[in-house]
Amino acid sequence: MPTPDLNLLVTLNVLLAEGSVARAARRLRLSPSAMSRALARLRETTGDPLLVRAGRGLVPTPRALELRERVGQLVEEAEAALRPAEALDLKQLIRIFTLRTREGFVENFGAQLIARIAEQAPGVRLYFTQKLDKDSTPLREGTIDFETGVVGDDTGPELRAQALFHDRFVGVVRNGHPLSDGAMTPERYAAGQHILVSRRGLQKGQIDELLEGLGLKRQIATIVGSFSAALALARASDLIVSVPERYTGNLRTDMHSFVLPVPTSNVTISLLWHPRLDADPAHRWLRGCIRDVCAERRAGSAARFEVG
């Protein structure tokens, strides 16, 4: 069966509304002969005469009366679907967005982000879910709206990314730890007992490679999978941990942080989303909120960093 010409729905809608080939032609800016040909095609497609002669005018058949309301609704919905998006009314917006992120993001940026959303769009809810891996499938499948992370070779090539902030690794110990006083050197740092943070259970990282270049080796006392767990251990012991500075700002409260004595690479934390949501007004608005909150936190965090 051939695919019907959906343009005929618009023609049928006008014909049924006007009840006249001439008036329908004028409304659609067609010649009467072109409209007559369109009516002939409609009769062939539907298998019904639709409009029949009654005196000097045309009257709809029962089939035409049956179709009139349905066709009108279909045309209206199609026009609405193709119409440019209306201006976003944040006060009337009701929606739930899901943001997948590692621990530390919620603790540092969550409160400000939720407050901003509540002020601008009280009907919007933000659902934070834990990021356990770098698999881009949830973004592709639409089970999440955003995620934060470092863009790398394993990031889906079709994903959109927007840099939120740059981060560096710092050393952290409990207040009163021997390393909290005096100049930090590679030797002092390497001589302590360390916590290695690795979700994949790796035995060494970039810092170990840098120390080896200086002829030094640090002792890894334990390996954990999260920054929060590592900082909790360091807070309650003499262990040393190295974590991203900005990402763990609130997690390091009442602890001593210091500049690492080896030059580690900085990382860029980005917001990622699937391109199908790129033009969505509500999604675009929330992306701006996340970007602005991260920028505000960046401005306020530098003054609180304690250099040892």
- Write out pLDDT tens, residues 114-141: 999 999 999 999 999 988 787 888 888 8
In contact, 75 and 40? CB cutoff 8 Å: no
What average pLDDT does the segment 292-299 reach? 77
Whether domain 7-82 has CATH 1.10.10.10: the reply is: yes
CATH topology classification for 90-167+268-304 = D-Maltodextrin-Binding Protein; domain 2 (3.40.190)
Taking CA atoms, 112 is separated from 118, 119, 234, 295, in Å, by 10, 11, 27, 11
Provide the pLDDT for residue 306. 38
On the question of pLDDT at 307 being above 50, the answer is no
On the question of pLDDT at 86 being above 70, the answer is no
Do the strands 255-259 and 169-174 form a parallel or antiparallel pair, or are they unpaired? Answer: antiparallel
Domains 7-82 and 90-167+268-304 share a fold: no
Q: How far apart are CA 127 and CA 64, in angstroms?
A: 49
Q: What is residue 265's three-state secondary structure?
A: coil
On the question of pLDDT at 198 being above 50, the answer is yes
Phi then psi dihedrals of residue 127, to 5 deg: -105, 115
Q: Is the dihedral of CA 101, 107, 112, 114 positive or negative?
A: positive
Grade residue 298 by pLDDT with cuts at 50, 70 and 90. low
Provide the pLDDT for residue 85. 63
Instruction: Tell me the CATH number of domain 169-265, given options 3.40.50.150, 3.40.190.10, 2.40.30.10, 3.40.50.300.
Output: 3.40.190.10
Provide the pLDDT for residue 137. 84
Q: How far apart are CA 131 and CA 114, in angstroms?
A: 19
What average pLDDT does the segment 7-35 reach? 87
CA-atom Rg of the chain in angstroms:
32
Domain boundaries, the chain: 7-82, 90-167+268-304, 169-265
What average pLDDT does the segment 161-189 reach? 94
On the question of pLDDT at 201 being above 50, the answer is yes
Phi then psi dihedrals of residue 224, to 5 deg: -125, 165
On the question of pLDDT at 225 being above 80, the answer is yes
- Write out pLDDT tens, residues 256-268: 999 999 999 898 9
Helices (H), the chain: 7-18, 21-28, 32-46, 62-82, 105, 111-120, 137-141, 186-191, 206-213, 227-235, 281-301
Q: How far apart are CA 188 and CA 210, in angstroms?
A: 15
Q: Is the dihedral of CA 212, 218, 234, 257 positive or negative?
A: negative
Quote the mean pLDDT of the chain.
87
Q: In what order do the strands lie in the sheet with 193-197?
A: 219-224, 193-197, 240-244, 169-174, 255-259
Grade residue 2 by pLDDT with cuts at 50, 70 and 90. low
Q: Name residue, tokens 């929606």.
A: 95
On the question of pLDDT at 230 being above 70, the answer is yes
Residue percentage of the chain with pLDDT more than 70: 93
On the question of pLDDT at 308 being above 70, the answer is no
Taking CA atoms, 212 is separated from 99, 169, 261, 262, in Å, by 38, 18, 13, 11
Provide the pLDDT for residue 297. 63
